[in-house]
Amino acid sequence: MEGSANAVGLADLSDRSTLMEILEHVRQRFPNCLESDILLINCCWELFLRWNAQPLILSNELYLTLAYLEKVSSSVLKHNVSTMGWRLFIQKRFEALCTLIEKMGRKPKDRISRKELEMGTN
């Protein structure tokens, strides 16, 4: 068992190194487009979009966004992207929820919340 686990680990390691090698080759060809920060920010944005489309099914995407965002070297960029993400995708849901609570005057039912927040029934 240990042997097979080691083999899998080695395979993963070689896969990773190969992947890094290809990425490095592509980076040499597209140096500006594939700068680390730009790539990480694009990943974050893609995850934001995915989460926004299906927030309940892809709830993990939001945590992943943070993992990518952490690696961004520029703190200004990091702050701006997270602010944009918050304003565009997350804040509107909280606003909708607050409006719903104010309108109903009590804790809304799960079904109504989902409908209002456009979170689907699944």
Binding site for another protein (CB under 8 A): 15-16, 18-20, 22-27, 29-30, 33-36, 38-40, 42-43, 45-47, 49-50, 52-54, 57-58, 64, 67-68, 70-71, 122
Q: How far apart are CA 103 and CA 111, in angstroms?
A: 16
Kindly tell me which of 37 and 100 has the beta carbon lying closer to another protein: 37
CB under 8 Å to 88, separation ≥6 — which residues?
48, 52
Minimum CB distance to another protein, residue 89 (Å): 12
Phi/psi of residue 19, nearest 5 degrees: -60, -45
CB under 8 Å to 22, separation ≥6 — which residues?
none
| CA diameter of the chain | 62
Minimum CB distance to another protein, residue 1 (Å): 19
Kindly tell me which of 57 and 104 has the beta carbon lying closer to another protein: 57
Kindly tell me which of 4 and 122 has the beta carbon lying closer to another protein: 122
